[in-house]
Structure 1
Amino acid sequence: MHWYVDVLKKYATFSGRARRKEYWMFTLISTVIYAVLAVIDVSLIGSGVIAGIYGLAVLLPTLAVAVRRLHDTGRSGWWLFISLVPLVGGIILLVFLASEGKPEANEHGPNPKFADAADPKVADAAV
């Protein structure tokens, strides 16, 4: 759950890098929360208002973590716009987001995988 909260703490931070695990865990938890809210919303209210509000609330952190994920692969955040290309754009973006990050430091910062291993607070949380 800390992967989800950590992304929310960096609500609009578009600089830096994000590991694959950080991106995909946030996406998974956010999707589950959205689905649960949508089911509850439709069954109780009959509309998608609550789920829609949640979707708007996490839109900015979702974009920010995706940009940081692209930074980890050595790409610019502007590559998010490739998803606007019909049929293949979303597939290309999915491949970029699922790719292994660059092991060396790049113009967006040091490798977060090695930075997490050196941070005792994060290492304790992993155990």
Structure 2
Amino acid sequence: MGPVAALRSCLSKSFQWRGRAARAEFWWFFVIFYGGLIVTAIYTILSVESGDDVLWPPVVFLLGLFPASLAVMARRLHDKGLTTWLVLLGVVPFGQLALLILAVLPGDEGPNGYGDDPLGRAKPEGLTYGSSRVPLVRDND
């Protein structure tokens, strides 16, 4: 998934907290989100230094993309099989670092309780724990 497709997907799912988001969708959206935030902050700083009091661009930018950023984080957590309530870690000290680490980890292979795998991978046969696989043993009775 490229940056335009990720942005389009996240904006169309701004208020959809169900389902799963692949790492590419999440990271492309956040690169665009923080890049745009930096650009609007620089624009605001330069306009204030020139004598204009233009403080609305970052506010409009944040209000426009904040719901999409929360929703894509929730869907990214769902990709790991985790609950949406972990988004609240973002308001505690070092919680954003924990969310960043969770967002870096690969998602569950195959469907989980939150939906189908966004990468279309089939669930591996056997018992799994993380990336280790225990082969399925069948009785021939």
TM-score (normalizing by structure 2): 0.74
Aligned-pair Cα RMSD in Å: 1.5
Q: How many residues align?
A: 114
> Is the radius of gyration larger for structure 1 or structure 2?
2
More helix by share: 1
1:34 aligns with 37
Distance 1:106 1:5 in 2: 25
1:32–1:111: structure 2 CA closer, same or farther, 3 Å change rule? same
Distance 2:44 2:91 in 1: 29
CA deviations 1:30-59 (Å, max 9, x no partner) are: 111121122222223344321121111111
Residue 111 in 1 paired to residue 117 in 2?
Answer: yes
TM-score (normalizing by structure 1): 0.82
Residue 74 in 1 paired to residue 81 in 2?
Answer: yes
Task: Report 1 or 2 for greater relative contact order, CA contacts < 8 Å, sequence distance ≥ 6.
Answer: 1
CA deviations 1:85-105 (Å, max 9, x no partner) are: 323x22222111111000020
Structure 1 unaligned spans of 5+: 116-127
Letter in 2 for 1:11: S
CA deviations 1:93-124 (Å, max 9, x no partner) are: 21111110000201111100117xxxxxxxxx
Q: Residue 96 of structure 1 is aligned with which of 86, 92, 102?
A: 102
More strand by share: 2
**Amino-acid identity (%):** 28
